[in-house]
Amino acid sequence: MSTHKRIYDLSPAEAAEVENLTLRIAKEYSSPEDEQLLRDLPLLATELPLGQRRFLRDFALEDELGYCVVRGHTIDHERIGPTPQHWRGRPIPTPEFPEEILLLLHGSLLGEPFGWKTQQDARLVHDIFPIKGFETEQMGIGSTDTLTLHTEDAFHPWRADYLLLECLRNPDEVATIVSEPDLRSLDPEHLEILHEANFLIRPDDSHLAKHNVTKGVDAEFSEIAEMKADDNRVAVLYGSREHPYIRIDPYFMETPKDPAARRALEAVSDLLESSCLDVALEPGDILVINNHRLAHGRQAFQARYDGTDRWLKRVSITTDLRKSHERRASATARLI
Ligand SMILES: NC(=[NH2+])NCCC[C@H](N)C(=O)O
Ligand SMILES: O=C(O)CCC(=O)C(=O)O
Ligand SMILES: [Fe+2]
């Protein structure tokens, strides 16, 4: 059992300190994509309270828990304004640039922020809010259907090591679903099969060309299209046998033809479903997800579309930028 605490609650004094820090940094840089900001993040993060930094570092090093929450940041609802209708066409920087910096500072204590050329028009920090017309989609912008349990970008070998979700607004207390299964409870025969490369995980719909207007990334979208049909089988469990890591997104996986593989996938999917917990994020919470241990999703809800909708910010963090070198434009570029 891990000794790491699940929640770090900032004191009011710490929250004020952090707010001043992010407001100051926002004046010194131009946007979340500002290359100088990305270079400076770990240097700037040393100004976060020590307890907060230690909490994140311990979470990462112990590598036991699937998630933790840093709670108590101040969100200035006046300044950030209403929840937008779409993530496209926002001003640069956005009014919530200080909140984006806050998310990036947390990420920089765990690794390097990166983004996808094929997702949210290649932006580094993503918006998660309901968008009209996408209600029933299996994407963060959906609402009326449960967002089914998944590893973020499970299909991709360069998926995030950590995924950070920051809550700006959540008036209806819509829960993020977390599932941290005790994989050791699985049948040894299933465990064996899940550790072998038997499974096809397809790209999810957020990476489709039709949801993006980014120019000059035809090669990347073609690659996604190929990954929808290839025969690149992967293991669902990996790492140690005693405390395995998991990559899974049952909704976007193919049912294995082999009956034993099919039964093993069903068993781990059932275990995931029976290990679910609701975490309703509060404004000022940052949910830190260990993307090798936790599967996550979101409860269904009714969107308001009146500027008061639930609004999260999301960023992907890698501990190893080098593995995606071939796809990044330069050593310091963040888009893959
Ligand atoms: N089971 C799923 N719904 N998987 C896809 C997850 C949503 C996706 N990560 C997005 O950005 O919208
Ligand atoms: O809205 C949430 O709480 C989670 C969203 C999510 O998992 C996603 O967009 O991939
Ligand atoms: Fe997700």
Tokens of 84: 């937008």
Q: Is 90 annotated as a binding residue?
A: no
Cα(128) to centroid(ligand 2), Å? 7
Cβ < 6 Å from ligand 2: which residues?
128, 140, 147, 152, 165, 176, 296, 298, 312
**pLDDT greater than 90 at residue 170:** yes
Q: Is 159 annotated as a binding residue?
A: no
Whether ipTM tops 0.95, in short, is yes
Grade residue 4 by pLDDT with cuts at 50, 70 and 90: confident
Dist CA 80 CA 233 (whole Å): 44
Q: Is 150 annotated as a binding residue?
A: yes
Dist CA 124 CA 39 (whole Å): 14
Minimal-distance CA residue to ligand 2 atom 10: 140
Per the rule left: phi > 0, alpha: psi between -120 and 50, beta: everything else, 25 is: alpha
276-314 residue pLDDT tens: 999 999 999 999 999 999 999 999 999 999 999 999 999
- Give the count of beta carbons closer than 10 Å to the beta carbon of residue 108: 22
Cα(140) to centroid(ligand 3), Å? 7
**pLDDT greater than 60 at residue 140:** yes
Cα(82) to centroid(ligand 2), Å? 20
110-139 residue pLDDT tens: 999 999 999 999 999 999 999 999 999 999
**pLDDT greater than 90 at residue 55:** yes
Q: Where are the domains of the chain?
A: 7-321
Its CATH class, for the domain covering 7-321, is: alpha beta
Q: What is the torsional sign of CA 117, 123, 124, 125?
A: negative
* 169 close to 310: Cβ distance less than 8 angstroms: yes
Element (H, E) at 259: helix 259-274
Q: 63-98: buried (b, 16+ CB within 10 Å) or exposed (e) per residue?
A: eebbbbbbbbbbbeeeebeebbeebeeeeebbebbb
Cβ < 6 Å from ligand 1: which residues?
138-140, 147-148, 150, 152, 204, 206, 249, 251-252
Atom of ligand 2 nearest to the CA of 139: 9
Q: Model-level pTM?
A: 0.98
Predicted confidence at residue 253, as pLDDT, reads 98
200-243 residue pLDDT tens: 999 999 999 999 999 999 999 999 999 999 999 999 999 999 99
The rounded radius of gyration (Å) of the Cα atoms in the chain is 19
Grade residue 2 by pLDDT with cuts at 50, 70 and 90: low
Cα(131) to centroid(ligand 1), Å? 14
Cα(78) to centroid(ligand 1), Å? 30
Atom of ligand 2 nearest to the CA of 177: 3
